[in-house]
Structure 1
Amino acid sequence: MIQVKLFDYEHEKDLEADVNLFLKDIEENKLLDIKYHVAVTSEDEDEQIYCFSAMVLYRK
């Protein structure tokens, strides 16, 4: 069965740490793909908000 795990953080280091922690429990041959995305938005002219996300596809 193919599964997905979604991650979403405001800081890239938080995303990296959580994805790495999750991957420790996945056998390498069960990992299918990792999709990565960065989005940026601005609430006002002085502040930008970042969204770092990843989707891990794996076999259970």
Structure 2
Amino acid sequence: MGFKVKVFDEEHEEDLEVALNRFLEKIDERQLIDIKYQVAITCNAGEEQIYCFSAMVLYRA
């Protein structure tokens, strides 16, 4: 049994939640090892804030 990584990247927090939940429904909870979560914020030329919500799931294949 090997290890795998699945990366998610969304502009909205709720979209990340939906994507993660859909993925987690497909694997057995015993396969799950860890989930890392990160938020990045930047400003574009118009000084509008842009958010990036991301998560990495480490699991057993």
TM-score by length of 1: 0.94
Task: Write the letter of the residue equivalent to 1:3.
Answer: K
CA distance in 2, matches of 1:30, 1:23: 10
Higher normalized strand content (fraction of residues)? 1
Q: Following superposition of structure 1 onto structure 2, how do residues 1-60 of structure 1 map, counting pairs within 5 Å?
A: 1-43=2-44, 44-45=46-47, 47-60=48-61
**Could you list the runs of 5+ residues in structure 2 that have no partner in the other structure?**
none
- CA distances 1:9-54 after superposition (whole Å, capped 9, x unpaired): 0000000000000000111111000000000001133x10000000
Runs of 4 or more above 4 Å deviation:
none
TM-score by length of 2: 0.93
**Aligned Cα RMSD in Å?**
0.7
Q: Could you tell me the percent identity over the aligned residues? A: 63
Task: Write the letter of the residue equivalent to 2:23.
Answer: F
